[in-house]
Amino acid sequence: MNEEEIKQTVIRLLKNIAPDMNPEELQPDDSIRQTLGIDSFDSLQFVVAMDEAFGIDTPEEDYGKIQTMKSLLEYIKSRMRK
Amino acid sequence: MVEYRMPSLGADMEAGFLREWRVKPGDHINRGDIIAEVETQKGIIEIEVFDEGIIGELLLKIDDKVPVGTLMTHILTESEAKTGMKVGEKEEEKVPPKEAEIEEKEAKVAGEAATPPPAIPTPPPIPVHRIRASPLAKRIAAERGIDISLIKGSGPEGAITRKDVEEAVTTQPRPLSEQASYDAAQQPTPEKSTTDTMRMAIAAAVSRSNREIPHYYLQTKVDMSLALAWLTDTNKQRSVKDRLLPVVLYVKATARALEEVPDMNAWWDNGLQRKKDIHIGFVVSLRTGGIIAPAIHDANKKSTDELMKDLSDLIPRARAMRLRSSELVDSTITVTSLGDNTVETMFGVIYPPQVALVGFGGIKEEPWAENGMVGAKPVLTISLSADHRATDGSTGSRFLTELKKYLNQPELL
């Protein structure tokens, strides 16, 4: 999966969580939660979906590393390499 | 024989529109079964029954306006059903109640004007000739851009039900060209109907609350170090799916504190009526605006895991506006959590006939003095809005103190 494919998958997953928002318009450094109005419950659902889609396992202490689109994509890439 | 009437769906609702029967005459039903779907300002509500028996004649047609209290059907015993007891026209003459009749007539006379706008915008029709499908199923299919002719119905005589359409939404492949219009349908509706009707429902409820309930407000702060450490520890041993959120602790701690201070778990209806069961109305905010507070039933009897499961079921259904009638009316108190990255304090408006609302702010790091030392701690502010007709400040204070006690000892939850 290249970076663009990862990004498209992330956007699709975010759209499932917040169907009435436009995750494709997120800037690399925007806070995903604040920009999309996602609450803690939605975030948890997103992490569940993300782990499933990319076959990774995101521990709770890493939640701080996935706050923006840029950091999220970096994080997924690094976890997929492991 | 039990008369089954349209239940009240909250202080702010007088009528709905019947959109689907989920049963047919002769069906055997149990307590808690869903017999119909009624569209209200709070979305499409699944109407439950609280008796066991056999469904009699269905006395309302699809799209009929259903004022609260309208006779919908009868629930017969086995023997009544066997003797072929005709569910009489006599009963029908008695109902709907007079006011309802008048309302119905007015609605007919005034035509469109008297009919509240549907909660979901009506899409351009898709031809569905000679296909057996409920009006609701047809509408959802049209909204989602689903070809209803490709769906296999599971209803009576192969009729397509809402459930079939919803399943098709996830399974039916869509050509790319349709993707755009499908996505557009997921955007905030350009029509104002959902938001407007929801806003009106909230306006009615809070205005009544503000008019009738003399509120008093209390506030306390909790050092959440212990609770958060307990959560982190618990979550470490769990897969993502099973992780708990702080809000589960709030709900459980509230329920436990209500066991100790039962006056807060009550309705005000010509006096204080304490409620035996603890059903916590949990405020869910909708992204398109508005809130809805479905009940988490028997919250005091559930483990934190069970509560998390309940929330995972309730929140998406609340956002999709697909709740059950009992979830709209059973709450004995309301809990609202603003979540992280928000303000610390909120003083809410009580949802009548309840007598209290507990507000949890975002957890913030703050200076915290203890044993003569000052340190930085994650601090949660809890506020209580309570009905002064029902309780006094000392009761409210006792309740918040209990709540705090439980959050300081999360292992007790």
For B2-52, write each residue's pLDDT tens digit: 899 988 887 667 788 999 999 999 999 998 899 999 988 888 899 988 889
pLDDT digits (tens, 9 = 90+) for B354-379: 999 999 999 999 999 999 999 999 99
**Mean of all residue pLDDT scores within chain A:** 90
Which of B176, B231, B237, B240 to mutate to probe the A interface, most A CBs <10 Å?
Answer: B240
Q: Which residue has the tokens 């350009």?
A: B190
CATH superfamily of B214-412: Chloramphenicol acetyltransferase-like domain (3.30.559.10)
Judged by CB atoms closer than 8 Å, whether chains meet at B188 and A51 is answered as: no
For chain A, what is the domain count? 1
Residue A73 neighbours by CB distance under 10 Å: 17
CA pair distance B253, B259, nearest whole angstrom: 10
Q: B139-186 pLDDT, tens per residue?
A: 667 666 666 777 777 766 677 777 777 777 666 544 443 333 333 333
| Burial (Cβ within 10 Å: 0-12, 13-18, ≥19) of residue A65 | middle
Percent of chain B with pLDDT over 70: 77
Compare CB distances from A20 to B186, B232, B236 and report the shortest one's residue: B186
Max distance between CA atoms of chain A, in angstroms, equals 34
Which of A:17-76 have CB within 8 Å of B? 18-22, 33-34, 37, 39-41, 44-45, 47-48, 51, 57-61
* CA proximity to B391, closest of B256, B277, B280, B272: B272
Q: Which CATH architecture has domain B2-114?
A: Beta Barrel (2.40)
Query: For chain A, how are helix, strand and coil distributed in percent, rounded to 5?
Result: 70, 0, 25
pLDDT (mean) for A21-35? 89
* Of B355 and B83, the one with more pLDDT: B355
Q: How far apart are CA B162 and CA B181, in angstroms?
A: 21
Q: Do the beta carbons of residue B105 and residue B130 sit within 8 Å?
A: no
CATH code of the domain in which A34 resides = 1.10.1200.10
Domain containing A14 equals: 3-81
CATH for B135-186? 4.10.320.10
- The residue ranges of every structural domain in chain B are 2-114, 135-186, 214-412
